Structure 1
Amino acid sequence: MTRQKDLVQYLQLLYEQSNEIIFFLDREGEIVYRNSASYEIMGEDVQHQLDSALCHHCEGLTDENHLVTCEGCYLYSGVSDKVDFQLFMKLQDGTVKPYSANYQTLDYENDIRVLRLNNISNQMKTQQVLHQKMLTKHIMEAQEDERKRISRELHDSIIQNILNILVEVRLFKYLPPEELSEKTEQAEYLLNNLMKSIRNISVELRPSSLDDLGLLSALRSHFKYIGKNYGMAVLFESNIEDTRFDTEIETALYRIIQESVFNAIKYADVDTVDVTLMDRGEYLEVIIEDEGVGFDMHSSPRGSGLGLFGMRERAEAIGANVSIKSVAGKGTKIALILPLKKGGEK
């Protein structure tokens, strides 16, 4: 009996002295009891706060699709099992801070629930710093890889063609008139190849059609280039027609699709890849799918992995959600959902 009394006393001390914020709530989400740690949110005006719903101070929770939302609030969803999530609370001084939350029903007969909150502001700041460092590292690696690729293109294609043209031109002064015409034609052929090489590099860096004509035209030109230079057929379907979107959105979608198709070329071992870009009214849907060799989602990606990382970062930057699903021997599917602003604004 003494041990039980001690336990009750310790639990009372824990409730009163803990830095963890504890709320006991009824079925309506009204506060029944709360500990002193909750004063940073609601102050010490007990009667006023006991008559107030917790949602008056809650700014929303975080789920897989939203950073902050009130959709699916656990206080009113009838959830009886123990759940863990993250939410944002407005403090007495008006600032909003993030909390890790634990919510469960304690008394099923009287429908009493408990909500426990722990401030995670410092942890989130640390995570943001680490994420920024990791992002900077990946960006620098991607930049270096791109510089190496461009350097190889310039050396193997551009410079080689220029040297060949230079040799041909230098020979002009030693040629008899009857051979000059043939060598001139050869020089013209080499110049045409040089222009094509320069144009290809320019398109890969930033296609002018993306700025001038829009996303649909740029993608069609790119897929034509893929078919001609890599022998892969891109089966493309879209209903956006001449619709223009913000430059940031068009660039991000173009790069994500471009990277996905190039990954299929490098790793999927297929002759065709399906790409769809559809306006569904409330959102844009992009799907890139192949029936190639696929890969194990739980193992390290082939290559550097920067391509997949870059796709996720680009999608996040425009508020899109991207999912990557692959099964070894069955292919890969990349799906992107981009919510559109209300009123038809893109």
Structure 2
Amino acid sequence: MLETKDWIKRYFDEATDAVMIFKDDELVVANQIAQDLQTELNLDPAYLIEVADASVKQKFTPTDNCFSCSIRNSMQEISIPITLASDMPHPLNYFLVYHVIDATDHVFSLTLKNRGTIERLDQLAQQRQLNQYVNRAHEEERKHISEDLHDSIAQGVYSAIMGIRRLAEGELADHDIRHITQVIEGQLTDTLAEVKGMALDIRPSVLDNFGLLPALRVLAKRLEENSGTAILVTGNANTDNLSTDVQSVLYRIAQESINNALKHAKATEIDVLLVAHEHFINLEVMDDGSGFDVPSHQQFNGRSLGLMNMNERVKALNGAFSIRSHPGNGTTVTAKFPVTTS
């Protein structure tokens, strides 16, 4: 038991956060980094209590002036941004975390956590979570392609094989041969169309051969024919100076935005605008659909994953991405990139 206490004390003393424990607003114990901060910055622990007290009173209505009492009656823990050494060349940014240890005896801790470290950890955690969802989306896409290959294309080829076997099995009247031949030709034509459609979804050749604007027009025409929704592509942009990566991302954003408008918003008209300015190129996809509440789709979920994926793709190439939408007022998706050479 004594050895365990030594381990706990060593961990407390060597912690990278400054930890101070109080009883009745009096400092009882502080770890080494907290002691160093007090010495180097002439930091008064009572000042930290006042900062936490002021923050609590902004959020709650205390029953009296007792700091620990108001905390005890309100919540177990609170975190407050705080800057120390603000008059020095390199101010220190922290989060001041108040934690109730024993409400009955009025024992609590104040911990100074480096704000930059926490923000970096939060960013890493968010990126890991996003990567998990993106990987899941990729797996879902692979599953969708596999199902299409099995249910549509493989079945079409199998039906054509069965028709060819009928032709090879024996004597058939001329009109039967013509009928079976027409059926096989129809099956193979439909299968070829399915293959071309999948190829366009995966990587349109027109994007590589003719550029972004023609590729967007081909995409709009195909989706318009399939959905019956009017999709208009306009613009004056010369995309020759855009990198292949930027063109690919702009195409995927248009594709995702149009599909979202058709699937979720029940739009009757979609406009795609690609305009080049002196130093940047701007893509806008506007629909007259049902719209949605953007803040409620900022967290990770299946429906918002496509939007988050678009945002991450744009940011990775130094672009800007935004979504404007309100329930009943349609949606506008905008992506802007600086003009760069290939």
State the TM-score, normalizing by the size of structure 1.
0.64
Q: Does 1:271 align with 2:277?
A: no
Say if 1:209 and 1:217, in contact at 8 Å, map to a contact too. Answer: yes
2:144 maps to: 149
CA contact (8 A) 1:15 1:22 kept: no
1:339 aligns with 2:338: yes
Report the CA distance between 1:275 and its aligned residue.
0.8
Q: Match of 2:293?
A: 296
Whether the 8 Å CA contact 1:100–1:119 is kept in 2: the answer is yes
Match of 2:199 among 192, 199, 202: 202
Structure 2 distance, partners of 1:99, 1:282, is 36
After TM superposition, the structure 1 = structure 2 runs for residues 84-123 of structure 1, keeping only pairs within 5 Å, are: 120-123=115-118
Shift of 1:177: 4.1
Q: Is the 8 A contact 2:291 2:331 kept in 1?
A: yes
Q: 1:270 to 1:16 in 2, by over 3 A?
A: closer
- Equivalent in the alignment of 2:318: 319
Per-residue CA distance 1:122-167 (angstroms, 9 max, x = gap) = 2243123212311221111111220121122112210221122122
Q: Which runs of 5+ in 1 are unaligned?
A: 1-12, 25-33, 42-88, 90-97, 102-117
User: Could you tell me how far 1:230 is from its partner in structure 2?
Assistant: 1.9
Question: Which structure has the highest helix share of the two?
Answer: 2
The separation in 1 between residues aligned to 2:127 and 2:292, in whole angstroms, is 28
1:331 to partner: Cα distance: 0.8
State how 1:170-181 maps to structure 2 within 5 Å: 170-172=165-167, 173-178=169-174, 179-181=176-178
Distance in 1 separating the partners of 2:314 and 2:207: 18
Q: Identity of counterpart residues, as a percentage?
A: 30
* Whole-angstrom distance in 2 between the partners of 1:304 and 1:311: 13
Q: Deviations over 1:244-298 (max 9, x none)?
A: 4111101111111110000011011122201101001111111111111111224
C-alpha separation between the residues in 2 aligned to 1:100 and 1:174? 86
Partner of 1:322, secondary structure, is strand
> SS of 2:309's equivalent?
helix
Q: Assess if the C-alpha contact under 8 Å between 1:256 and 1:314 holds in 2.
A: no
1:22–1:242 distance in 2 versus 1, CA, 3 Å: closer
Matches within 5 A, 1:247-262: 247-262=244-259
Check whether the contact 1:215–1:250 (CA below 8 A) recurs between aligned residues: yes
8 A Cα contact 2:290 2:328, kept in partner: yes
Matched residue SS, 1:299:
helix
Secondary structure, aligned partner of 2:132: helix
For 1:316 and 1:150, the matched residues in 2 are separated by: 28
Query: 1:189-244, CA deviations, whole angstroms, 9 ceiling, x for partnerless residues?
Result: 21111111111101101111212221112111111111122222211111114634
Amino acid at match of 2:246: I
Q: Which amino acid aligns with 1:339?
A: P
Is the Cα contact below 8 Å between 1:215 and 1:244 reproduced in 2? no
Preserved CA contact (<8 Å) 2:273 2:283:
yes
Q: Which residue does 2:124 correspond to in 1?
A: 129
| More divergent stretch after superposition (277-286 vs 118-127) | 118-127
Mapped partners of 2:227, 2:338: distance in 1: 33
* Whole-angstrom CA distance in 1 between matches of 2:144 and 2:280: 35
Q: Which moved more, 1:124-133 or 1:136-145?
A: 124-133
Checking the alignment, whether the CA contact within 8 Å between 2:270 and 2:286 is kept in structure 1 is yes
Residue matched to 1:188: 185
Q: Matches of 1:313 and 1:175 in 2, distance apart?
A: 63
Give the conservation status (yes or no) of the 8 Å contact 2:94–2:114. Answer: yes
Aligned to 1:94: none
Could you list the runs of 4 or more consecutive aligned residues of structure 1 that deviate by over 6 angstroms after TM superposition? Answer: none
Looking at structure 2, the residues matched to 232 and 126 of structure 1 have their Cα atoms a distance apart, in angstroms, of 45
Deviation at 1:175, TM superposition (A): 4.7
Return the alpha-carbon distance in structure 2 between the equivalents of residues 247 and 323 of structure 1.
Answer: 22
Q: Aligned in 2, Cα 1:120/1:300: closer, same or farther, shift over 3 Å?
A: closer
Letter in 1 for 2:313: R
Aligned with 1:162 (options 157, 160, 164): 157
Q: Quick check: 1:22 aligned with 2:85?
A: yes
Task: Sort the Cα spacing of 1:156 and 1:175 in 2 relative to 1 into closer, same or farther, 3 A.
Answer: farther
| Residue pairs, 1:236-255, within 5 angstroms | 236-241=233-238, 243-255=240-252
Structure 2: state its 5+ residue gaps: 1-37, 44-81, 96-112
* Matched residue, 2:308: 309
Question: Counterpart of 2:214 in structure 1: which amino acid?
Answer: S
